[in-house]
């Protein structure tokens, strides 16, 4: 039972890590606190469900399609709605307040649309339910594949952040936006690209989530909250911190749900969050 908890925890944790990575890039580079982030995750999940049930596609194909769609949607959202906000705000603080208000509204809009179209029930599809045997533990094949893809996308993004000019520029803007122009970085372009990249990760995370669990039209709120907790635990803008914290939260949730009660997972997450806030407000991995 311990090893099955561990694997379930890793699967959850891998997905959470991916989601937190997207949110931390959006917040760290574009300085947008996106409260509708979880709604884009759910959009990825609905999209995958429709592709599987209506178009008869493999969920993995849907995942590959979700990446550019999430990117494009967020790119447009930034260009049409958020960029004008960023331009008129005189300070970073003001941009944060404005973006929270706007994305809070967007959250309700998107949740409303989901509920009108899909109702409030649990949603999902059947895929690779047959268990595979890992280290003596039986676990649904869909979960394993979900984990593999979450890790793969997370690792690729991390490498890109460290090893490519694209990523180095992104990190530079996240750490010292006021110096970006000195090295020829166009802040506007960079912010839009970061916001869109975060959107791609959100949609991909939703596609992966749908591979192994059901979801509802309103689950986005919890996902945003969890991603936010993980980002703060990891230290805002700290990519490795987000990855590790995501895995920790996944493991804790799986552990609590097996050992105590599934209803307490969210409470456990917030308990950890509170401890981190009190004890290491700048994140578990701050130096």
Least distance to other proteins from the beta carbon of 189, Å? 9
In DSSP notation, 174-220 reads HH-GGGGGGGT--HHHHHHHHHHHHHHHHHHHHHHHHHH--B-TTTH
Judged on CB neighbours under 10 Å (0-12, 13-18, 19+), 51 is buried
Residue 264 engages other proteins in binding (rule: CB under 8 A): no
Q: For residues 28 and 193, what is the distance between their CA atoms, to the nearest angstrom?
A: 12
Choices 54-62, 86-94, 169-177, 197-205 (CB under 8 A): range interacting with other proteins: 169-177
Among residues 121 and 287, whose Cβ is nearest to other proteins? 287
Residue 171 engages other proteins in binding (rule: CB under 8 A): yes
In DSSP notation, 105-130 reads HHHHHHHHHHHHHH-SS-B------S
Q: Among 56, 87, 130, 184, which residue sits at the site for other proteins (rule: CB under 8 A)?
A: 184
Q: Among 3, 92, 93, 186, which residue sits at the site for other proteins (rule: CB under 8 A)?
A: 186
Residue 116 engages other proteins in binding (rule: CB under 8 A): no
- Asked if residue 209 lies in contact with residue 45, where contact means CB atoms within 8 angstroms, the answer is yes
Per-residue tokens: 116: 């009108």
Q: Among 1, 80, 116, 182, which residue sits at the site for other proteins (rule: CB under 8 A)?
A: 182
Among residues 58 and 175, whose Cβ is nearest to other proteins? 175
Q: Among 172, 218, 236, 258, which residue sits at the site for other proteins (rule: CB under 8 A)?
A: 172
Choices 39-47, 168-176, 245-253, 260-268 (CB under 8 A): range interacting with other proteins: 168-176
DSSP class of residue 281 equals: T
Least distance to other proteins from the beta carbon of 171, Å? 6
Q: For residues 246 and 14, what is the distance between their CA atoms, to the nearest angstrom?
A: 7
Least distance to other proteins from the beta carbon of 180, Å? 7
Q: Among 6, 50, 187, 218, which residue sits at the site for other proteins (rule: CB under 8 A)?
A: 187
- Which region, left, alpha or beta, applies to residue 49 given φ > 0 means left and ψ of -120 to 50 means alpha? alpha
Least distance to other proteins from the beta carbon of 28, Å? 11
Residue 160 engages other proteins in binding (rule: CB under 8 A): no
Q: Among 52, 86, 110, 180, which residue sits at the site for other proteins (rule: CB under 8 A)?
A: 180
Least distance to other proteins from the beta carbon of 18, Å? 23
Among residues 186 and 261, whose Cβ is nearest to other proteins? 186
- Interactions with other proteins, residue window 214-253 (CB under 8 A): none
What are the two backbone dihedrals, phi and then psi, of residue 60, each rounded to the nearest 5 degrees? -70, -35
Among residues 138 and 163, whose Cβ is nearest to other proteins? 163
- Asked if residue 231 lies in contact with residue 24, where contact means CB atoms within 8 angstroms, the answer is yes
Q: For residues 143 and 236, what is the distance between their CA atoms, to the nearest angstrom?
A: 29
Q: For residues 234 and 250, what is the distance between their CA atoms, to the nearest angstrom?
A: 14
Q: Among 165, 263, 278, 279, which residue sits at the site for other proteins (rule: CB under 8 A)?
A: 165
- Asked if residue 234 lies in contact with residue 245, where contact means CB atoms within 8 angstroms, the answer is yes
Which spans of this chain sit near other proteins (rule: CB under 8 A)?
165, 168-169, 171-172, 175-176, 179-187
């Amino acid at each position: 039972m311990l090893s099955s908890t561990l694997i379930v925890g890793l699967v959850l944790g891998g997905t959470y890590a991916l989601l937190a990575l997207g949110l931390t890039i959006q917040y760290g580079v574009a300085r947008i606190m996106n409260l509708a982030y979880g709604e884009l995750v759910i959009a990825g999940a609905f999209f995958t469900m429709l592709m599987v049930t209506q178009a008869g596609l493999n969920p993995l194909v849907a995942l590959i399609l979700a990446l550019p769609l999430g990117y494009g949607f967020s790119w447009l959202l930034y260009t049409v709605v958020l960029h004008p906000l960023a331009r008129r705000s005189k300070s970073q603080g003001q941009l944060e307040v404005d973006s929270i208000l706007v994305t809070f509204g967007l959250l309700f809009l998107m949740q409303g649309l989901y509920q009108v179209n899909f109702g409030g029930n649990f949603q999902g599809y059947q895929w690779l339910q047959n268990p595979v045997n890992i280290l003596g533990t039986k676990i649904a094949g869909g979960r394993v594949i979900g984990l593999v893809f979450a890790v793969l996308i997370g690792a690729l993004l991390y490498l890109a952040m460290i090893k490519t000019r694209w990523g180095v520029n992104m990190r530079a803007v996240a750490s010292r936006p006021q110096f970006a122009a000195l090295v020829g970085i166009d802040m506007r372009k960079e912010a839009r690209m970061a916001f869109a990249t975060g959107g791609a990760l959100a949609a991909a995370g939703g596609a992966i989530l749908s591979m192994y669990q059901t979801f509802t039209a309103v689950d986005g709120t919890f996902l945003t909250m969890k991603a936010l907790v993980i980002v703060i635990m990891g230290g805002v803008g700290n990519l490795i911190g987000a990855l590790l914290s995501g895995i920790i939260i996944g493991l804790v949730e799986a552990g609590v749900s097996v050992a105590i009660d599934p209803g307490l997972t969210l409470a456990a997450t917030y308990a950890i969050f509170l401890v981190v806030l009190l004890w290491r407000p700048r994140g578990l991995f701050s130096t």
